Each structure stands twice: as structure tokens, then as C-alpha cells.
Amino acid sequence: MKHTIHVDLDARGYDIHVGTDLPAETLELSADGERALIVSDANVDPLYGDAVAALLEARGFMPARAVVPAGEKTKNMRHVAALYADCVAAGLDRRAVVVALGGGMVGDLAGFVAATFLRGVRLVQVPTSLLAMVDSSVGGKTGVNLKSGKNLVGAFYQPVTVLADLRRLESLPEREFRSGLAEVVKYGVIWDAELFRTLEREADAIGRRDFGVLEPIVARCCEIKAEVVAVDERESGVRSILNFGHTLGHGIEQVSGYGGRWLHGEAVSLGMVYAAALSTAARGFATDDRDRLRALLSALGLPVHPGAEGFEGGWTALRDAMNTDKKTRGRVPRFVLAERIGAVVFDCVVDETVLREAFSAAFADSN
Ligand SMILES: NC(=O)c1ccc[n+]([C@@H]2O[C@H](COP(=O)([O-])OP(=O)(O)OC[C@H]3O[C@@H](n4cnc5c(N)ncnc54)[C@H](O)[C@@H]3O)[C@@H](O)[C@H]2O)c1
């Protein structure tokens, strides 16, 4: 089975293909000797670089390869500059394509290079992590980090197509896979109660990476992101619902250091537990639903509590970190809150006392 999801952005619209063992024809582009640069990281290139190069050759491209070190530290301007040099060395012209083969780090980095080299060459996203398949490869946000913060430089730049082949998830480390599931759960909470029920029902099969079960779930997540992005490409309104659980989540990552104690999805899982507690306190989110969310995250192997050692710096550090969230205005963070599973509201301001009490309620026995 294969799912094709169209992202409806008029002339910049594109298809996302989700399947297992996708054939070369899935790449809708064909070429007559045009250049392609496959950008990947040192973990992913040895696993899938040859196969993707063969796929591009089968479609008439002449692919070259660029391999960057794995890890978030690579997502910076120094590697952007190095990749521009690779683009030149590979002879990329305006008809060329850049192929981002990897997780979200490679997708954001190579996407930014594609957006800016020659003022933009075509970008194909070939996500290989679960997070990249359901989130970062869709929607057109590209960019890199500065020393002073994450994703501070970037561009909205839509790919011409996305090829999400679930087979590539087989090699994804367990913790990375589980971390990606946090974003999957998020889609259920913000948009689709039926998806949420499916996740509850199929938690074991999902944990085993049963592709028959996962494929329609990944496709549904892409569909939801596509719908949201089509309405609000540049995040001036409803797109911010994709940040459910991310206000505290980003704070947790910031305080503990990116790539530190918590992976992104793990921090988002904890952030969703907090957002659910806030939702109950401020928006009447039923306690049953709050508990279902926590139970589902647990069943999928995601953290719902920081454990006995608590959060580094405790509430004070996390509250401070929330002030640097991009939704915060004048030290007042704006939250996405759930009214019920499948329906959220955004831009919510919550009383300071409630912020603190919800933290204690969500992470009782923590600091
Ligand atoms: N653009 C967006 O809309 C958006 C959305 C969410 C996150 N992001 C960005 O995505 C990044 C995180 O993405 P990520 O979690 O995929 O991290 P990542 O790209 O660093 O990948 C995580 C690890 O898994 C490895 N890996 C990836 N696919 C693999 C596979 N199939 N087999 C074996 N190893 C594999 C990578 O080499 C890396 O070590 C962050 O930079 C974040 O800012 C962007």
C-alpha cells in the first residue's frame, strides 16, 4: 500500500509519498542528465546513500553525494558554507535538485542550502527518522542554529516532493523511534480523536514497528500537517497548534542542553503532560482525557515524569526558559491548550499561579 498526500499550496503544492519499499517512479521528477546533490549524515549515508543515488539515476539524474557529521551540532552556518562548496563542485545549476536524505537535522540543513543556493534550487525530502517523516520534512521550514539559539536563521521553502519510505525506519535507533512517536501523539490531540484512539489500540504493534499498522498512521500525520500548513504556511495563526506541548518541551531542551538528557520528542512528551494539566486547570480539559494522554505516552515508551532527580534547575529554570519561546510576548508565554482530545485552542495566556500549580500537579514529587 502507498499513500499520497497533496500539500495544497497552489503553484508550490507538492505530494508526500508514504509507503514501504517505494519504487523509483514514486519520485515524480525525471531528468535528462541534470545534476543532483544528495546530502546525508554519516549514519544515514552508508545505509541508504547508494539506493537513493540509484533511484535518482533511474530517473535520469546525475547524483553526487555530500556527507556531514551526524548530530544537531552540524546544523550551523559553517556546514551551510561547506555544502555551498559541494553544490559548486557537483556542478549544480538552476535545474538541479538537492536531496535531503536523513532525519530532521539533515532536512533543515540541506533544505536551507536548497532554498538559498542560486536563490533556490529544487528540494526533495527523503526523511529517514520518524520525526522527519511526520513532521520536519513536511511544511517547508528550513534553517540552522546560531550559537545564541536554535533555528534562528532559516527560510520557508517547500520541497517539490517528499518520499517517506517506512522501510528506512528499520535501522532507526529505538530511542529515536520512540521520540518521534511524541509528535504522532500530538497530532491526535490537536486534530484527530480517531487517530488518538488508533494509537491507544495499536500501541504494542506501533512499538514493534509493524509497518502495516504504522503506514496509515504516518500518512494521517502528514495529512494533518499538510492541512494545517495549507491554511497557514507562515505560522501567523493556526499553524501554531503544532506547538502543543512544545512551550515547556523547548524549555526542557534548552535547560538540559540540546542533545543532552532529553531527546526532542521526550521533552515534547513531558511538555504535553504539562500542557494537559494546564488545559485541565484553564480550559476544562476532562481529567479522564488528561489521564488517557499520559497513559498513551507511557504505553509508547515516552517519559511522563522526570524521575526522582527531577528537572535540572526545577520550575524556576524552566519558567525562565519559557520566556525565550518564540510565542512569548513580554515574558508572557502563549500556550496551545486542549479542550478535548482532537480539539485545541492557541494563543492562550494562563495566570502565573496556575502555571506553577499545573507544573506541581503534572509532576508531583518532582522539584
Ligand atoms: N523543519 C521543521 O518543521 C522541523 C520540525 C521538527 C523538528 N525539526 C528539526 O529536526 C531535527 C531533529 O530531527 P531528528 O529527530 O530526525 O534528528 P536527527 O536528524 O539528528 O536524527 C537523529 C539520529 O538518528 C539518525 N538516523 C536518522 N535516520 C536514521 C535511520 N533510518 N537509521 C539509522 N539512523 C538514523 C541520525 O543520524 C541521528 O543520529 C532538529 O534539528 C529539529 O530542529 C524541524
What digits encode the pLDDT tens for the residues 103-114? 999 999 999 999
Residue pair 184/242 in contact by the 8 Å Cβ criterion: no
Q: Is 136 close to ligand 1, i.e. is its CB under 6 Å away?
A: yes
Q: Is 225 close to ligand 1, i.e. is its CB under 6 Å away?
A: no
Mean pLDDT of 166-195: 98
Q: Is 75 close to ligand 1, i.e. is its CB under 6 Å away?
A: yes
Mean pLDDT of 144-173: 94
71 CA to centre of ligand 1 in angstroms:
8
Give the other-Cβ count within 10 Å of 60's Cβ: 13
**Strands 14-19 and 161-165, how do they pair?**
parallel
Q: Is 131 close to ligand 1, i.e. is its CB under 6 Å away?
A: yes
**Is 94 in the active site?**
no
DSSP 241: G
DSSP 332: B
Say which residue the cell 494522554 belongs to.
293
**Is 3 in the active site?**
no
Burial class (CB in 10 A: 0-12, 13-18, 19+), 72: middle
DSSP 160: S
> Rounded to an integer, what distance in angstroms lies between the CA atom of residue 88 and that of residue 72?
24
Catalytic residue among 178, 186, 246, 290: 246
Would you state the pLDDT for residue 177? 98
Residue pair 71/38 in contact by the 8 Å Cβ criterion: no
Query: Which pLDDT band holds residue 233 (cuts at 50, 70, 90)?
Result: confident
DSSP 285: -
pLDDT at 367 over 80: no
C-alpha cell at 54: 540509484
Would you state the pLDDT for residue 147? 84
Mean pLDDT of 83-98: 98
- Of 100, 105, 120, 20, the C-alpha closest to 71 is 105
Q: Is 166 close to ligand 1, i.e. is its CB under 6 Å away?
A: no
Say which residue the cell 517505494 belongs to.
22
Distances (CA, A) of 107 to 67, 162, 180, 284, 324: 13, 11, 15, 38, 24
216, containing H or E segment: helix 211-231
Burial class (CB in 10 A: 0-12, 13-18, 19+), 352: exposed
Please measure the distance between the N-terminal and C-terminal CA atoms of the chain and give it in whole angstroms. Answer: 48
**Is 201 in the active site?**
no
Would you state the pLDDT for residue 365? 63
**Is 6 in the active site?**
no
Query: Which pLDDT band holds residue 366 (cuts at 50, 70, 90)?
Result: low
Lowest mean pLDDT among 99-113, 139-153, 209-223: 139-153
pLDDT at 303 over 80: yes
> 3-state class of 80 per DSSP?
helix
Catalytic residue among 59, 220, 264, 290: 264
**Is 264 in the active site?**
yes
Closest ligand 1 atom to Cα of 141: 1
Q: Summarize pLDDT for 63-84 with one digit per residue, the tens.
A: 999 999 999 999 999 999 999 9
